[in-house]
Amino acid sequence: EIVLTQSPGTLSLSPGERATLSCRASQSVSSSYLAWYQQKPGQAPRLLIYGASSRATGIPDRFSGSGSGTDFTLTISRLEPEDFAVYYCQQYGSSLRFGQGTKLEIK
Amino acid sequence: QVQLQESGPGLVKPSGTLSLTCAVSGGSISSSNWWSWVRQPPGKGLEWIGEIYHSGSTNYNPSLKSRVTISVDKSKNQFSLKLSSVTAADTAVYYCARDMDDSSGFRAFDIWGQGTMVTVSS
């Protein structure tokens, strides 16, 4: 079973800065089955990126995804106040798994 | 647009069965999508429970498979979750979610319900 490890666990940055979040898989993952979500307190997750690099409908272009194989990255080019949240990666291989999440907090 | 709404008891006794329903509105459950249940214990991360297609085909998380049943009711445009032999560890917010169109070649949850909190306690 594929395990996803996200790093860092917590990322402290200021608005306007660039955020780089990592998702590493224990085995190679199909890029078509790699997604990223944003979750704010008390809300359901929101799809940001699917297929490792495609933005979901309505997602600002400051969000971008990249990577292949076992290493994937979510980048937020310039942080806005509303971007501070928890981010999860997700893959569907033999089963569906989420990473443990990265909390992006205001520095 | 498609919306999902979870419903069911908010409190379940230990060793009992948790039962939830997800109503689909603004679209058909017989569309080319898989439909899933995902849960999140308080203060923790997301855990996929399982999925169903309108044909009745299912896939389950191996760690929960022995206790989970997901079913579909096309006449009511909804799908349901049953989780048996529950313990306090099953206390969580339960979400239903729609996967992207099956023909897209991608797997990602593009629509989520608002979630419903279920507490397991006597």
pLDDT, tens only, A25-42: 999 999 999 999 999 999
What tens-digit pLDDT sequence spans chain B (122 residues)? 999 999 999 999 999 999 999 999 999 999 999 999 999 999 999 999 999 999 999 999 999 999 999 999 999 999 999 999 999 999 999 999 999 988 888 999 999 999 999 999 99
| Cβ of residue B36 closer than 8 Å to a chain A Cβ | yes
Res. A1: pLDDT tops 90: no
Bond into B14 cis (ω within 30): no
| Cβ of residue B94 closer than 8 Å to a chain A Cβ | no
Q: Tell me which amino acid residue A78 is.
A: R
Q: Do A44 and B48 touch (CB under 8 A)?
A: no
Q: How far apart are CA A69 and CA B61, in angstroms?
A: 23
Res. A8: pLDDT tops 90: yes
Of B45, B100, B114, the CB nearest to A98: B45
Of A51, A57, A88, the CB nearest to B46: A88
Q: What pLDDT, in 10s, does the model give residues A44-75?
A: 999 999 999 999 999 999 999 999 999 999 99
Res. A93: pLDDT tops 90: no
Q: Coil, helix or strand for A28?
A: strand
Q: Shortest CA distance to A79 belongs to which of A104, A59, A49, A57? A: A104
Could you give the angle at the alpha carbon of B25 between the alpha carbons of A63 and B47, nearest 5°? 50
